[in-house]
Amino acid sequence: MGNAQGMENPAATLLLVEDDTVLREGLTELFTREGYRVIQAGSVREAREMRTDEVQAMVMDVGLPDGDGVSLCREWRGAGETRPVLFLTARGEEFDVVRGLDSGGNDYVTKPFRMQELLSRVRVMLRGIRPPQPAGRDGFTVDRERMQVLKDGEALPLTLTEYKILALLMDRRGVVPRERLLEVLWDEGGKFIDDNTLSVHMSRLREKVGADRIRTIRGVWYQWSDTSSAES
Ligand code: CA
């Protein structure tokens, strides 16, 4: 049980879209040293060409010479692309976080960033697409067939809506905009859930899993936390 952690994506392939050649080469070297395969692109056009099946996640600059990463991400998501996208944004660059995450981006880091920070975000992002593990290191697992979330092997008493919210947050790992939660609940449940109802579900859910497991950023985004603050 104890060694599942070391098995994550030994050779994940990343699509790195960045027009700053020096930064792109530096990041490629860094990722390669960490055991990733890197496919490089320096523009929207190249990114479109290089988005092959072997890519498992994208790390994408927002400001590109022939377009912007956010629009590209939106276009891809519209076409059914499900692989995770992390945006690289420049300080001072007009990056609208809401727009960025609404476009289907999973996460973002602001330049200049610490390399370790970027690496850890990429790891988190890839963990989200790892095949389901028998037990998460935090003791929470999603059982999709039975539509349950288990804590240390025991099913939590969740309503269907609570299950859907929790499964989405645990899947995505990155920040999930409130609007997206509303969309997913609407799409999949066929039952109308308004903003207030979502707030009620959220607070009940936090009572059940521990308030510090579901982080919220100004009530607009939500993020599942692997560790409760008591443990960290
Ligand atoms: Ca750029």
Contacts of 38 (CB under 8 A, 6+ apart): 13, 14, 16, 27, 28, 31, 32
So what's the pLDDT on residue 138? Answer: 63
- Report d(CA 99, CA 87) in Å as an integer: 12
Tokens matching residue 141: 């697992």
So what's the pLDDT on residue 4? Answer: 42
Question: How remote is the CA of residue 25 from the centroid of ligand 1, in Å?
Answer: 14
Average pLDDT for consecutive 10-residue bins of the chain (232 residues)? 44 94 96 95 97 94 94 90 90 70 84 89 79 53 82 87 85 76 67 80 90 81 72 40
So what's the pLDDT on residue 191? Answer: 63
- Report d(CA 224, CA 27) in Å as an integer: 27
Helix (H), strand (E), coil (C) string for 165-179: HHHHHHHHCCCEEHH
So what's the pLDDT on residue 87? Answer: 93
So what's the pLDDT on residue 63? Answer: 92
So what's the pLDDT on residue 232? Answer: 37
Question: How remote is the CA of residue 64 from the centroid of ligand 1, in Å?
Answer: 5
- Report d(CA 159, CA 148) in Å as an integer: 9
What is the CATH architecture assignment of 135-224? Orthogonal Bundle (1.10)
Question: How remote is the CA of residue 17 from the centroid of ligand 1, in Å?
Answer: 9
Question: How remote is the CA of residue 167 from the centroid of ligand 1, in Å?
Answer: 34
Rounded to two decimals, the pTM is: 0.56
- Report d(CA 18, CA 41) in Å as an integer: 6
Question: How remote is the CA of residue 73 from the centroid of ligand 1, in Å?
Answer: 15
Name the class of domain 4-126: alpha beta
Question: How remote is the CA of residue 66 from the centroid of ligand 1, in Å?
Answer: 10
* Longest Cα separation, the chain: 52
- Report d(CA 101, CA 108) in Å as an integer: 8
**Which residues have CB less than 5 Å away from ligand 1 (the ion)?**
19, 61, 63
Q: CA triplet 142, 130, 225: central angle to 5 degrees?
A: 55
**Domain edges within the chain:** 4-126, 135-224
Tokens matching residue 53: 């099946």
